[in-house]
Structure 1
Amino acid sequence: MNTSVNTTKIYDEIIEFIAAGTTPQSVIDFKLLDAAKDRLEDLVYRAKTEGLTGSDEGELNHFLTLEHIMRLAKAKAHQYISVE
């Protein structure tokens, strides 16, 4: 798999999303680009099968942290929508 998608690009994608302005619904609807999802799937697969290099493990940990933050934001966005 091509490893050109790196953590910095994922951060940039999320920063761009936030900087453009968000609504609760846009937070709920947010999805990573396919290239980022493919990279994440590759890292998870390799972690389960053959193991990861130190840098790949760090990249996977960044992905997982960002995913956790976005899940929390989506849960909070659902709360905002249910109040409206």
Structure 2
Amino acid sequence: MVLTRFFDEVIDFLTSFPRPEDIVAFKPSLALQSRAEDLLEKKREGTLTVDENRELDYFMVIEHLMRMAKARARQRLA
């Protein structure tokens, strides 16, 4: 499942004890970026299923978490 891979990627990254520079540079894999873009496109088109909507919600929560982590990492680097 794509969502499990997304969680795994983020968890693996966070448990690798990244430096602030690594956190700022973090990006999900191209496959996961593509999946998120597909879900956003389906949402714009109004063709998102209930399961896909739930998946997109999880993507958004994790994206928010990583944005907050990047903001804090940038503060530490400043």
TM over 0.5: yes
> Could you give the per-residue CA deviations for residues 37-59 of structure 1, whole angstroms, max 9, x where no partner exists?
00000000000013211100000
Give the equivalent residue in structure 2 for 1:55: 51
Give the equivalent residue in structure 1 for 2:18: 22
The two structures have a TM-score, normalised by structure 1, of 0.89
Which of 6, 11, 17 is the aligned partner of 1:10?
Answer: 6
Show structure 2 runs of 5+ residues with no match: none
Amino acid at match of 2:62: L
Structure 1 runs of 4+ off > 3 angstroms? none
Which of 31, 34, 40 is the aligned partner of 2:36?
Answer: 40
Give the equivalent residue in structure 1 for 2:63: 67
CA distance in 2, matches of 1:20, 1:36: 20
**Percentage identity across paired residues of the two chains:** 35
TM-fit CA distance, 1:6: 1.4
